[in-house]
């Protein structure tokens, strides 16, 4: 069974802080994704990565960056957290050959 | 780029009734359409998917239909049960190496006993 693990379920940070959200998958998937989920807006793609050290912007990359130094780990970085980044963040991984995306449990991030 | 619209945003049915959720997509190149179910406080989980080379796929009480000409696809749940209550998301993508899914905004399904 695919396992996608996010480091924290709940996180509270202050405005201006640098915030790291970590995600690890155990299926040797090439593709990894970070989404943001807000009520009424569905899941919106922030960034994705298709290989180690490779990254592509999604639909809402502003204020975020990512890092993928190892195949199994994909990190989302909020460079200087702001209150409008309070949200649920979901990580997903998927293979290249038509394998579906599998999600982690999510991190509910509050920026005060 | 791809845009996916999903309707309705909320759907209330009685146990045993059928439920239908509809999505439309804009990019005719999209060829993969998954559906995810998200129960309260849990991760989205894939419940069924369809590729553009088939028009319908069924798995027990769940079915998905695809109309490529009209660019819409639908989720059908028969004999609904209270445990079907959740938020359902449709998505669309072109199955290439990236598989960048574009999601609908979700449908909150409530099944009353």
Residues of chain A contacting residue B86, judged by C-beta atoms under 8 Å apart: none
Per-residue pLDDT for chain A (112 aa), expressed as one digit of tens each?
768 999 999 999 999 999 999 999 998 888 999 999 998 888 999 999 998 999 999 999 999 999 999 999 999 999 999 999 999 999 999 877 667 889 999 999 999 9
The answer to whether the CB atoms of A31 and B9 lie below 8 A apart is no
pLDDT in tens, B32-63: 999 999 999 899 999 999 998 889 999 999 99
Nearest to B43 among A50, A96, A103 (CB): A103
**pLDDT the model gives residue A98:** 66
**Quick one: pLDDT band at residue B97, thresholds 50, 70, 90?**
low
Nearest to B98 among A31, A40, A44 (CB): A31
The answer to whether the CB atoms of B100 and A41 lie below 8 A apart is no
The mean pLDDT of B66-71, rounded to a whole number, is: 94
pLDDT at B99 over 90: no
Q: What is the DSSP annotation of A74-101?
A: EEEEESS--GGG-EEEEEEEE-SSSPPP
Q: Which chain B residue shows the shortest CA-CA distance from A55?
A: B98
Q: Which chain B residue shows the shortest CA-CA distance from A106?
A: B43
The answer to whether the CB atoms of A105 and B6 lie below 8 A apart is no
- For chains A and B, what is the number of CB pairs under 8 angstroms? 52
Cβ atoms < 10 Å from Cβ of B89: 25
pLDDT in tens, B4-27: 999 999 999 999 999 999 999 999
Rounded to whole angstroms, the Cα distance separating A89 from A43 reads 9
The answer to whether the CB atoms of A50 and B98 lie below 8 A apart is yes
Rounded to whole angstroms, the Cα distance separating A19 from A2 reads 26
Place of tokens 């009209």: B70
Taking a contact as any Cβ pair under 8 Å apart, which residues of chain A between 27 and 46 contact chain B? 30-31, 33, 40-45
**pLDDT the model gives residue B100:** 84
Rounded to whole angstroms, the Cα distance separating A69 from A52 reads 6
Q: Does the CB of A102 have a partner CB in chain B at under 8 Å?
A: yes
Which phi and psi (to 5°) does residue A92 adopt? -140, 155
pLDDT in tens, B72-90: 999 999 999 999 999 999 9
Best B86, B101, B107 residue to mutate vs chain A (most A CBs within 10 Å) = B101
**pLDDT the model gives residue A33:** 95
A38 CA: distance to closest CA in chain B (Å): 9
Rounded to whole angstroms, the Cα distance separating A12 from B84 reads 32
**pLDDT the model gives residue B93:** 87
Question: B50 or B99: whose pLDDT is higher?
Answer: B50
């Amino acid at each position: 069974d695919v396992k996608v693990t996010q480091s924290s379920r709940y996180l509270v940070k202050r405005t201006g802080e640098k915030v790291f959200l970590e995600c690890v998958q155990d299926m040797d998937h090439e593709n990894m994704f970070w989404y943001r989920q807000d009520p009424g807006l569905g899941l919106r793609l922030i960034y994705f990565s298709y290989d180690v050290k490779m990254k592509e912007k999604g639909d809402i990359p502003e204020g975020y960056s990512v890092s993928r130094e190892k195949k199994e780990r994909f990190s989302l970085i909020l460079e200087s957290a702001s209150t409008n980044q309070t949200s649920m963040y979901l990580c997903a991984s998927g293979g290249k050959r038509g394998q579906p995306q599998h999600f982690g449990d999510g991190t509910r991030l509050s920026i005060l | 780029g791809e845009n996916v619209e999903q309707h309705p945003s909320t759907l209330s049915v009685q146990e045993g009734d059928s439920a239908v959720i509809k999505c439309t997509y804009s990019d005719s190149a999209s060829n993969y359409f998954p559906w995810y179910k998200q129960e309260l406080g849990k991760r989205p989980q894939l419940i069924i998917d369809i590729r553009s080379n088939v028009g319908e796929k069924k798995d027990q009480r769940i079915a998905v239909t695809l109309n490529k000409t009209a660019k819409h696809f639908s989720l059908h749940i028969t004999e609904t049960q209270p445990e079907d209550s959740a938020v359902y998301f449709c998505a669309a993508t072109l199955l290439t190496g990236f598989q960048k899914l574009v999601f609908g905004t979700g449908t909150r399904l409530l099944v009353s006993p």
